Every structure is written in structure tokens, then in C-alpha cells.
């Protein structure tokens, strides 16, 4: 059972002509051929892309585009030690539902390991390095804007330290309409969230955690307490941490999209 805590909050006669069915079938076939055949749903694709941060880090990402003008978007940030593939199943699901998604490798992870010839590894990161990672999110938003995504309707979702980074970035950027935080903590690698959620103000935030993930559960409780706006906490069975929580639950992916729909559409 999912635990939810929300604040704020007549039939036509048959033809008597034996050949009628065949004549009609032939007519429909001719019309279909004249119109180019039946329409097919647009093909959904995932495109590997690259872009650069303000401080020169080359970011690797996968863009899940949709064939609509100025669609809403979701930027997806993985947990410590993972990479953008962790968000792949959710990104494909959101894409099918009309959201353009961008999942990227944080600096020092996956294929985002180069800056001006220097090789980066998250294992050697200091607190300053982690704080600089918010520039990865800024570069991701600029990329989405270049691809025609409506930034006013682009949310940010993060997992674990990615959740903390998402909130830290959104706290400094009031044009971010909503954040989804999966397994956030009060402090991961010096990225603190209590102060950030206060600075975030009255914008909506969705907190998701597993019941067996005790640190994240207590962190979500505190974040819910200090949040000024709409803050919804959802707890799921088990102890899964980060984006895999969405794979372990049959409903979590849909619940994110249902929560986002009245905020950013589509």
C-alpha cells in the first residue's frame, strides 16, 4: 500500500445486396491508398547528445523528444555512482505520455568525465566539486530550450544526490515550476536540502521514498515540515533507493506524471 501525505493543499439496417460488403471494402481500400494509407503514431526515439557546461565539462546525455510544438519537459538526474541509463525506463514512459525528457550523466560519471583535457571522477570530488555540479543542470536546461522544449513547463527530477542537486538548483532559479525528489536526503556530500526547500518557496515539490530507506524517510519528513508550498510525500514498500524505486513499484511512474500534469501539462 502506498502511503500518501499531502499538504495545502439505434443500429443501421443490413444491406440486402450480397456484394455490398465487398464494394464498400474496395471503396475504403481506394480511399486509403489515395490518402497514403492509415496513419501511424509518430515514432519515439532516444538520441544521444553532448553539450558543455559553463565551466567546460563535456556532458553526455540522452534526449527523448516528442513531435509536438513546445512540449513540457522533464530533466532527469541520477544518483551517486550511477549514470543516465538509470532513468531510461521512466524517460521512455514519460515520452510516450507527451513529455520531452533529458537524462544526463553528472560530471565525473558515465561519459561526462572530461574538462579541458582533465579526466574527472566523482570518487575524488570535494564539496566544491559537488556544488559545481548544479552547472550540469543549467547546461541541460539550455539544451532543452534549444530543442524547442517549453522551459516554463520543464520540471526537474532527481534521485538521491541528484534529488538534492535538483532542489539546490531550483531554489536559485524561480522559473523552475516543479521538482520531483526521489530518495532525497538532508545532506548528501554537502548538498543540503532543508535550507534549499525554504528558499524554493511555495512552488510544488513531490517527495518519494521507500519505507525501508530510513535516512530518506526521516529526511522527507523534515522537508515536508519546513516546506512553504505544496509538498506531497509518497512512501513505497521495500528499501529501494534512487531511480530503481520507480521500477520496483507498479504505479510510481504514472503517479509522477499524474502529479505533474496539472502543473506543467500536457
Q: What is the CATH number of the domain that holds 253?
A: 3.40.50.1820
pTM recorded for the entire structure: 0.86
- Any domain includes 29: no
179-182 and 154-159 as β-strands: parallel, antiparallel, unpaired?
parallel
- Any domain includes 52: yes
Averaged over successive runs of 10 residues, the pLDDT of the chain (266 residues) comes to 48 37 40 45 84 98 97 98 98 98 98 95 98 98 98 98 98 98 98 98 98 98 96 97 93 97 97
pLDDT value of residue 250: 85
pLDDT value of residue 20: 40
205 with 157: CB under 8 angstroms?
Answer: no
- Any domain includes 253: yes
pLDDT value of residue 131: 98
pLDDT value of residue 1: 46
- Any domain includes 10: no
Task: Give the number of domains in the chain.
Answer: 1
- Any domain includes 14: no
Domain extent, residue 190, equals: 42-264
pLDDT value of residue 224: 98
pLDDT in tens, 9-39: 433 333 333 344 334 344 434 334 444 444 4
- Any domain includes 76: yes
pLDDT value of residue 44: 86
| Residue 226, number of CB atoms within 10 A of its CB | 12
Which segments within 20-85 are labelled E, that is strand?
47-52, 57-64, 73-77
- Any domain includes 218: yes
Amino acid at each position: 500500500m502506498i502511503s500518501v501525505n499531502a499538504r495545502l493543499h439505434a443500429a443501421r439496417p443490413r444491406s440486402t445486396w450480397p456484394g455490398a460488403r465487398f464494394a464498400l471494402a474496395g471503396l475504403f481500400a481506394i480511399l486509403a491508398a489515395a490518402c497514403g494509407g492509415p496513419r501511424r503514431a509518430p515514432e519515439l526515439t532516444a538520441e544521444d547528445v553532448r553539450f558543455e557546461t559553463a565551466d567546460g565539462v563535456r556532458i553526455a546525455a540522452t534526449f527523448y523528444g516528442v513531435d509536438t510544438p513546445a512540449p513540457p519537459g522533464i530533466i532527469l538526474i541520477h544518483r551517486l555512482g550511477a549514470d543516465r541509463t538509470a532513468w531510461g525506463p521512466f524517460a521512455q514512459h514519460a515520452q510516450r505520455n507527451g513529455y520531452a525528457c533529458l537524462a544526463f550523466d553528472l560530471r565525473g560519471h558515465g561519459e561526462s568525465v572530461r574538462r579541458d583535457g582533465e579526466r574527472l571522477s566523482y570518487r575524488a570530488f570535494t564539496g566544491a566539486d559537488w556544488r559545481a555540479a548544479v552547472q550540469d543542470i543549467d547546461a541541460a536546461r539550455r539544451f532543452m530550450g534549444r530543442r524547442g522544449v517549453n522551459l516554463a513547463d520543464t520540471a526537474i527530477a532527481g534521485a538521491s544526490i541528484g534529488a538534492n542537486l535538483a532542489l539546490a538548483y531550483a531554489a536559485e532559479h524561480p522559473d523552475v515550476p516543479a521538482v520531483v525528489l526521489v530518495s532525497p536526503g538532508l545532506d548528501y556530500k554537502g548538498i543540503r536540502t532543508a535550507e534549499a526547500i525554504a528558499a524554493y518557496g511555495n512552488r510544488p515539490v513531490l517527495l518519494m521514498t521507500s519505507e525501508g530507506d530510513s535516512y530518506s524517510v526521516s529526511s522527507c519528513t523534515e522537508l515536508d515540515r519546513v516546506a512553504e508550498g505544496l509538498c506531497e510525500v509518497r512512501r513505497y514498500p521495500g528499501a529501494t533507493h534512487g531511480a530503481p524505486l520507480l521500477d520496483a513499484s507498479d504505479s510510481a511512474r504514472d503517479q509522477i506524471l499524474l502529479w505533474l500534469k496539472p502543473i506543467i501539462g500536457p
